[in-house]
Structure 1
Amino acid sequence: MSTQVYRPQESVYGLLPKEEENTPKPPRYVSKFRPAVVQEEKLPKRPMRTMGPAKVEGPAPEKFLKKHSKEPKLPDKAQSAKEGRINPLKKPPVPTHTEVPPMGLQTKRDFTKTCTFVSAKPQLTNVDSNKGHKEVLEKSGLVPKYIKKTDFGKVPPYLQQRNAEKQKAQEEYDSYVKEQREKQAMKQLSEEERRDILEGLKKNWDRNHHEYQGLSLVIDTSSKRARKERLETTLKQLEKDIETFERFKIIYIADN
């Protein structure tokens, strides 16, 4: 992509001499602490102001540095042991067997409540690997500690209560079912009643069959067709009932 440089057109005014413009310089920076520094420089010089004391008193020849002189010194063992034994609150020594004990003294100390320290028994552990892995024997389940309880092998009280409630609910349900069965009990037909019903069904079948035989051979109207279908349905139902009463000797009839 070519870039086109803008060049201004030449003019006769560009031939005229131009006067040089002198830009004024900014004022020189002067610190605000300059007067104080000048005043401080006019003061007389103070010795040992920056380089320390001009003369240092040297050590005396008889006070030369000795070996281990700057190491901290520990107190004397005998003195420290003696001071450590001095205790103003220390009890008097135990009397000897030759001394006569003072009579009439009473103590407030109760010897029945003195603490007796029993040595703790070692905790039994079970090591089950050659690398030393161990576990507490009491919590491992290998110790038969539950069989030693007084109620071991007995049904817990809450389970006994639950079983009693369950048994009571079952008995109430059984009594309710028995009562409903007694209310809805079916009546058993006797042999005479069964025979009477069977004879009545057969008579009805004979009557309907005789009526069916009296139908005309030509059924050309809807009324004749309806009568024929009604008689056929009645005969089929009667035949089914007769077969049932002849087949079963014991028959139950519901009250409702």
Structure 2
Amino acid sequence: MSLVYITEHNETIYDVDKAVEEKRRTKQYGYISQYKKAIFEELNKPDIIIDADGVLVYTDSKRHKHKSMGPPKLTIPKACEYKHPRPIRWRRTKDHVCPVPACRAPPVPRFNREDIVEIEREKKDYIQINIDKIPLLKRKVQLPMVSKTITGSTYMLVGAGVLPENVCSKRFGKVPKYLKKIRQDIIDHPICKKETETKQERERGIMRKGVYIGRRALTLEERIDILRGLRDRYKETLRVYMTSSVYTDTTSKKKRIGDLERELTTLENDLALFESTKCLYVEID
């Protein structure tokens, strides 16, 4: 058991407990900043102070030059300096006098339920009327529809532009006037005229010294050279195709094999054309 000795007359047991508790609190903090007191004082400073002249002025406690635009240079106006609009005071003039009516209006008659006249309504059997009208109704015309998918999705043909509309019109199936004018302007153009004449001469196939206009026949040496080149190209492409990988597990391999197959098909068609046809014509540049 511990004993507490009281040395002064004003000491109590409660004062000892408080001292122990304060000492215990100070031990909890491992580090106390030396600027704590200055920061606390700065935070508790007032934002606005009253000057010696009685003017309200902002302080630097919450406004720093490196954090904002600095303290304002203008002073805060007092509440009494604000100009409040004066309220409009209405007053009633006593010059007006209500005229006395010559004769008073008659009083409103009292409401009496006995004066209500009941309207006799005709009794109709609406169910029987509907039964009689149903056989006279016309059947609704089913519009033409077309199924466009396997699941049965349909669409209407009337508004889709598939069926001919406005057949009875006088302008149906005729070219509009503005399109005729545009087409005639294109035909009358000098460049278009020249191209049309050249095309007509080529189509006629007029022979002049064994040469068609705009084209010429291949000689035997040119034909043999082209055939030799096509066969060499076909052999080289076929060799590359046969030595390519069997597995097509990547996109690049699939693309390469597809390109080789298309090239082989084109070369086969060209060889068949040159071997079957003896006389060939080419365009003159």
> TM-score, with normalisation over the residues of structure 1?
0.29
User: Which is bigger in relative contact order (C-alpha 8 A, separation at least 6)?
Assistant: 1
> TM-score, with normalisation over the residues of structure 2?
0.27
Instruction: Give 1 or 2 for the bigger CA radius of gyration.
Output: 1
